[in-house]
Amino acid sequence: MANYRYQPPENKEFAEKVVQVNRVSKKTKGGNRISFSALVVVGDKKGRVGVGLGKAKDVSSAMRKGSTYAQKHLINVPIKGTTIPHEMRIKWGAARMLLKPAPAGSGVIA
């Protein structure tokens, strides 16, 4: 009997960006066990954004898990024209982020 796994259809309404891929090594008595974690950001460029961290034994699975988590946990960011209407402070876990409105053409300042 064939073992088929359900794969949800790929959602093309979201733009996906891999922010970081990290190699993690765990020391065991048999040697080192290598795994990967991937931080993925998805958004629809209309005000909905999600962040996901996926962990797996290979990079592609970690990226897929991060993307799936991000699509399930979206937040709405208010947009006025091409920027946000006011300054926003966001805390997620131990990370803190400050979003400031900027004029068109200023790009991303990280």
pLDDT in tens, 66-80: 999 999 999 888 888
Spell 12-34 as b/e; 16+ CB within 10 A means b: eebebeeeeeeeeeeeeeeeeee
Q: What are the chain's domains?
A: 15-77 (3.30.160.20)
Query: What pTM value is reported for the model?
Result: 0.74
Mean pLDDT score of the chain? 87
